[in-house]
Amino acid sequence: MKLFIFLFTFLLVIPAGAQVILLNPHDNSLTDSLGSEMIFAIDVTNNTNEEQTIYIVRTQNILPPSWYSALCFDVCFSFELDSVVTSPEYGSSPLQANETREISVHVLPYENHGTGTVEIKVVSVSDSQQYFFDFTANTAVTSVNEVSYKPENYSLSQNYPNPFNPSTKINYGVKEGGQVTLKVYNILGVEIATLVNGYKPAGTYEAFLNASATGGLSSGVYIYSLSVNGFRQTRKMILEK
């Protein structure tokens, strides 16, 4: 009898044939440079009067070497994680009645020009309907990492975002061409990553740190240091998971 009442109430809340969730993708294909972050967003709307728990599953992840993709829903997750749920366990919460929220797939091409494809599946726990989306990420041969004008001074900017998870961008300026090193250390001074190690002509540049791709860094304070032509500067950044 209790089961009958539950099913009857459920049918009243969600009319037969009605979609439990509505999905509106923004872009299916994006093109950017190496070192960029391409974001494929989808608006998800709860089309009922009851809260809905949503599952997002990465079903295909076909990327060139040194490319990564991450699922994001309220927060961004590790590149290794193929499925997430709108629950407190994942730092999220179910969609409330008629609420619209954004989910996204972030593709980060660090090296090797090419094309990558990511497919995800979105489904509500109260509905058997599955929704599939295919996203294509391309890199342009012309990079925006180097800017034509010559900076007046050497510089190392604060990383952005900060705190970050799982990736962050570091801008730096080279007044005169020379051997550039940009390294990351833990709070004990142990080197954990080399982001740049080579000659750079005068210009402004971007470097990227991917916490998941450097051995799975833990939350905490890290130090990054730029060295070029006798100039040296260090700054702190915070990884929060």
3-state secondary structure of 77: coil
Whether 58 contacts 50, CB under 8 Å? no
Cβ neighbours for 18, distance < 8 A, ≥ 6 positions apart: 47, 48
**Would you state the torsion angle of the CA atoms of residues 234, 201, 198, 231, taken in this order, to the nearest 10 degrees?**
-30
Residue 13, pLDDT score: 46
Residue 140, pLDDT score: 72
Residue with tokens 């950017």: 32
Residue 30, pLDDT score: 92
In angstroms, rounded to a whole number, what is the distance separating the alpha carbons of residues 122 and 54? Answer: 7
Residue 14, pLDDT score: 45
Same fold, 18-139 and 155-239: yes
Q: Output the six-digit token pair for 133.
A: 């989306």
**CA-atom Rg of the chain in angstroms:** 22
Q: Is the peptide bond before 163 cis (omega within 30 degrees of 0)?
A: yes
Residue 10, pLDDT score: 41
Q: What is the total residue count of the chain?
A: 241
Residue 208, pLDDT score: 86
Whether 100 contacts 89, CB under 8 Å? no
Q: Which of 98, 101, 97 is nearest to 86 (CA)?
A: 101
Residue 201, pLDDT score: 87
Q: Please name the CATH architecture into which domain 155-239 falls.
A: Sandwich (2.60)
Whether 135 contacts 63, CB under 8 Å? no
Residue 237, pLDDT score: 95
Residue 220, pLDDT score: 92
Residue 205, pLDDT score: 87
Domain ranges across the chain: 18-139, 155-239
In angstroms, rounded to a whole number, what is the distance separating the alpha carbons of residues 56 and 123? Answer: 7
Residue 8, pLDDT score: 38
Q: Which residues of the chain have pLDDT under 70?
A: 1-17, 141-149, 215
Residue 5, pLDDT score: 39
Residue 113, pLDDT score: 83
Residue 17, pLDDT score: 55
pLDDT in tens, 5-44: 334 344 444 444 578 999 999 999 999 887 788 999 999 9
Residue 149, pLDDT score: 57
Read off the pTM.
0.58
**CATH tag, 18-139:** 2.60.40.10
3-state secondary structure of 8: helix
